[in-house]
């Protein structure tokens, strides 16, 4: 039997999730308390789907079928028939919990309720439920219809059957699912912090400018976007907020310390592409400096950022956040890394990664650069990840 899916929040993410569910022939109830948001969602989705017709990827009939399966509502009472509810509203624990208190009594006792949070504790969000065992995280990446990865995040009280049923559903939507432990940042937002944080640190130290760092990571590392391009794309306000959330959630572990540089950018309204100014200037006829294409310097930049990323991935494995296979899968499918970080560590040599971490720690004497014990043990025992 085809499940009815309710999506709460008609912003970019909620609209994308609704599109996926309707594409796979589910009846979708898209809720938002603001009618203008629902209207914008409908127009945006219609435009996106019509573009697929223009490119001969869909027929007009398919578009009409997808749109016809989505019912837009401003009253929660219409979600009562939902088998699965996916919340995709603002990243605020209190606001989410207030919504859950309204939702839980409306839906069937067997209905799965999920959050699309990218950084909040699933266990904390679950605490407001009468039946927390039916609640879990289903974290899509933006844009949801295009990004293949979805993190499935049960809390410590989520029923195993709920986790499996949720994963089976998302798998049926032809997504790549990974099972993640309910720890700050889950997999991707935990491991990826140094991609931004260490790049910002290199910039703050005056070792290289954003254009040079981005060039090194793309040209020498094979990354699709450099860290500063990506921060401007995500939004410096959004990226800074995620960094702060993860830092606080890890009890202020120095490895996750956010950057004051990015904080000042966000405070000044230099948010990136959406404000036309960030680390780069996107205004018409704007001047942006060219990178310094020095391969030796570029390699030093790549090695430093990549070493910290690998250390973070190893730490996630050591703390049982996910399996080694799913950790690498998450980074290649969730943020388009050119290789899985653990496989990359094998390629470079784990003793070399340990040596680089120890050199950084010897220089800075900061816990930010402490080497993961798993890497140190593997180097001593001449082990590899794969």
CA 362 to chain centre: 32
Nearest-angstrom CA–CA distance, 149 and 372: 26
Given the residues 72, 116, 139, 155, the one annotated as active site: 139
Given the residues 72, 189, 236, 311, the one annotated as active site: 189
User: Is there a catalytic annotation at residue 110?
Assistant: no
User: Is there a catalytic annotation at residue 294?
Assistant: no
Three-state SS for the chain is: CCCEEEEECCCHHHHHHHHHHHHCCCEEEEECCCHHHHHHHHHHHHHHHHHHHHCCCCCHHHHHHHHHHEEEECCHHHHCCCCEEEECCCCCHHHHHHHHHHHCCCCCCCCEEEECCCCCCHHHHHCCCCCHHHEEEEEECCCCCCCCEEEEEECCCCCHHHHHHHHHHHHHCCCEEEECCCCCCCCHHHHCHHHHHHHHHHHHCCCCCHHHHHHHHHHHCCCCCCHHHHHHHHCHHHHHHHHHHHHHHCCCCHHHCCCHHHHHHHHCCCCEHHHCECCCECCCCCCCCCCCCCHHHHHHHHHHHHHHHHHHHHHHHHCCCCCHHHHHHHHHHHCCCCCCHHHHHHHHCHHHHHHHHHHHHHHHCCHHHCCCHHHHHHHHCCCCCC
User: Is there a catalytic annotation at residue 26?
Assistant: no
Taking alpha carbons only, the member of 84, 185, 91 closest to residue 134 is 84
User: Is there a catalytic annotation at residue 151?
Assistant: yes
Cα within 13 Å of Cα(44), Cβ side: 16
**Which sign does the torsion angle of CA 270, 272, 275, 277 carry?**
positive
Catalytic residue numbers, as ranges: 118, 139, 151, 189
């Amino acid at each position: 039997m085809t499940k009815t899916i309710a999506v709460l929040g008609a912003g970019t993410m909620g609209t994308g999730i609704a599109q996926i569910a309707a594409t796979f022939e589910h009846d979708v109830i898209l809720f938002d308390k603001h009618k203008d948001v629902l209207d914008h969602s409908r127009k945006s989705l219609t435009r996106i789907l019509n573009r697929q017709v223009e490119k001969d990827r869909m027929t007009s009939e398919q578009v009409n079928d997808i749109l016809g399966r989505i019912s837009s509502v401003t009253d929660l009472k219409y979600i009562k028939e939902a088998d699965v509810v996916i919340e995709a509203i603002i990243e605020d624990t209190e606001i989410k919990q207030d919504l859950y208190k309204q939702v839980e009594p409306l839906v069937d006792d067997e209905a799965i309720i999920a959050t699309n949070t990218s950084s909040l504790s699933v266990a904390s969000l679950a605490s407001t439920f009468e039946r927390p065992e039916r609640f879990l995280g289903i974290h899509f990446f933006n844009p949801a219809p295009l990004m293949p990865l979805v993190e499935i995040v049960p809390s410590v009280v989520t029923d195993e059957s709920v986790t499996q049923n949720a994963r089976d559903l998302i798998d049926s939507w032809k997504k790549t699912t990974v099972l993640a432990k309910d720890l700050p940042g889950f997999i991707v937002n935990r491991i990826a912090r140094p991609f931004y944080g260490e790049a910002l640190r290199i910039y703050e130290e005056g070792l290289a400018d954003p254009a040079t760092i981005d060039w090194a990571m793309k040209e020498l590392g094979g990354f699709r976007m450099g860290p500063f391009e990506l921060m401007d794309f995500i939004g410096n306000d959004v990226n800074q907020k995620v960094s702060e959330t993860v830092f606080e959630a890890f009890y202020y572990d120095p490895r996750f310390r956010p950057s004051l540089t990015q904080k000042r950018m966000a405070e000044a309204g230099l948010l990136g592409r959406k404000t036309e100014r960030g680390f780069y200037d996107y205004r018409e006829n704007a001047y942006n400096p060219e990178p310094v294409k020095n391969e030796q310097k570029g390699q030093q930049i790549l090695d430093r950022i990549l070493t910290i990323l690998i250390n973070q991935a190893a730490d996630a494995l050591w703390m049982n956040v996910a399996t080694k296979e799913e950790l690498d899968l998450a980074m290649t499918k969730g943020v388009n890394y050119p290789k899985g970080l653990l496989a990359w560590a094998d390629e470079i040599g784990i003793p070399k990664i340990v040596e680089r971490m120890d050199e950084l720690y010897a220089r800075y004497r900061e816990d930010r650069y402490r080497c993961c014990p798993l890497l140190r043990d593997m180097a001593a025992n001449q082990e590899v990840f794969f």
